[in-house]
Amino acid sequence: MHRQRIELCGVSVDVETDHPELASYLAGQFAPCTASEPPDVAVRVRWTDGPRADLTPRAVFPDWPADTRVDRHVWLGPGTVLCLRQDDAPQIAIASRPGSPRRLELRFHFSLDAEGWRETAKRLVRWRRLATLRRARLSTLTYYAVYYPVWWHLESRGLAHPLHAAGVALDGRALLLGGLPGCGKSTVATALLGVPGAELLSDNVVLHDGAELHGCFEPLLLDAASRAALADHAGATPLGRRHQYARDAYALPHRTGGVPLAAAVLIARGYATRLTRLPAGECARLLLVANEAAKEVRRYHVLAALLALAERDGLAHLEQRIAHLDRLLAGVPCYWLDVREGAPAEATAELRELAAAAREAAS
């Protein structure tokens, strides 16, 4: 077994896995942590391989008793919930039990989605690509093994909520850059990093507590244009991984502490760069729309709903998601920003003015 301590958003996670490729992937993504105190979350990940597996509690999680069936693939036991098939990631099963530390066990089953001789035939045809296909699953598995347990550990306590958005701090105040997947958040956030005094919070998911924005570290996934814009940035380290849409992964220093919000901006691609004021309530609801459109956060919301079956105190997160977001945006200017294709510098100029105005107002 491979073991690693990970510190993310103030939550310590011990990950134990029998899959060396996952262990190597995690070691490359997260900085080593040598803290000796007990972790907040303990996660065990098992990797199995072959034809479709038997989806029964005793077959998947023999050490987790669960007798109450509440859904085709969801079972409850004493203080535990077993999810034998995760939403649109059917290869993943997860068992959870709250406590100190919170304990989770994941089983990832790699198959080619066939049964019997069809599975064998697919493997014979695709045998040259099997290693690549296995590696392609590691990003999704990292979300379930690290990010989702951390988010739920915080959200179930009313401490923070994830948003599908980028965040950049300028002179100590944060710009929240929201929008649907592919709208250009990462491109604009990367362009902003060329501004003196700019600090990255995240380019994909940020956390908020209703008062401040917090970074949630993930590698930057940069296309050719964004890589060129970041070429001279100190501390940008290529991780040697290529992801979907020809984007390469980079590690970049990021700010972890809470930052007061200067402005919230929803980004879209347009024929001309144009900034339009939005009511705060409308901006909050559009950010929630982006959450449900982004698979990373949508998958988490499905998992959080199931985990709450065994943690009834955590059900308060459903109301708090909206109430805390409204509180975060109250009194903060909100905007819709159309960005002309291929002209992130125009957006950067608009956003620098926003941050300067917010800083003057705060002082």
Residues ≥6 apart with Cβ < 8 Å to 111: 49, 50, 51, 52, 53, 91, 119
What's the rounded mean pLDDT across residues 312-337? 92
Are residue 20 and residue 99 in the same domain, yes or no? yes
* Band (127; pLDDT cuts 50, 70, 90): low
Q: What is the pTM of this model?
A: 0.90
CA distance 166 to 267: 10
pLDDT at 229: 66
Average predicted confidence (pLDDT) for the chain = 86
Please state whether beta strands 205-208 and 198-202 pair in parallel, antiparallel, or not at all (unpaired). Answer: unpaired
Q: Which two tokens stand for residue 233?
A: 């940035």
Are residue 114 and residue 168 in the same domain, yes or no? no
Are residue 183 and residue 42 in the same domain, yes or no? no
Element (DSSP H or E) covering residue 349: helix 344-362
**Number of domains composing the chain:** 2
Note the Cα 307 to chain centre separation in Å. Answer: 17
Are residue 259 and residue 346 in the same domain, yes or no? yes
What's the rounded mean pLDDT across residues 263-270? 92
Are residue 332 and residue 200 in the same domain, yes or no? yes
Are residue 134 and residue 193 in the same domain, yes or no? no
- Which of 132, 155, 178 terminates a domain? The answer is 155
Checking if the pLDDT of 32 tops 90, the result is: no
- Angle at Cα 17 formed by Cα 11 and Cα 19, nearest 5°? 135
- Which of 93, 121, 155 terminates a domain? The answer is 155
Q: Could you say which DSSP state residue 86 is in?
A: B
Q: Could you say which DSSP state residue 197 is in?
A: T
* Band (28; pLDDT cuts 50, 70, 90): confident
Q: Which two tokens stand for residue 181?
A: 């997947």
CA distance 310 to 315: 10
pLDDT at 117: 52
pLDDT at 121: 65
pLDDT at 285: 96
CA distance 223 to 134: 23
Are residue 25 and residue 51 in the same domain, yes or no? yes
Checking if the pLDDT of 158 tops 80, the result is: yes
Are residue 52 and residue 194 in the same domain, yes or no? no
Query: Which of 268 and 190 is assigned the larger pLDDT?
Result: 268
CA distance 190 to 188: 5
Q: What are 196-247's pLDDT values in tens digits?
A: 778 889 888 999 999 999 999 887 777 766 666 665 665 677 777 777 666 7
* Band (302; pLDDT cuts 50, 70, 90): very high
Are residue 238 and residue 310 in the same domain, yes or no? yes
pLDDT at 150: 97
Q: Which domain holds residue 52?
A: 2-155
Are residue 304 and residue 351 in the same domain, yes or no? yes
Checking if the pLDDT of 124 tops 80, the result is: no
pLDDT at 326: 96
Cα first-last separation, the chain: 53
Percent of the chain whose predicted confidence (pLDDT) is above 70: 88
Are residue 37 and residue 52 in the same domain, yes or no? yes
Query: Which of 72 and 239 is assigned the larger pLDDT?
Result: 72
Are residue 213 and residue 259 in the same domain, yes or no? yes
pLDDT at 35: 81
Cis omega (within 30 of 0) for bond into 101: yes
pLDDT at 252: 73
Residues ≥6 apart with Cβ < 8 Å to 274: 337, 338
pLDDT at 254: 79
Find out whether 151 and 317 touch, Cβ atoms under 8 Å.
no
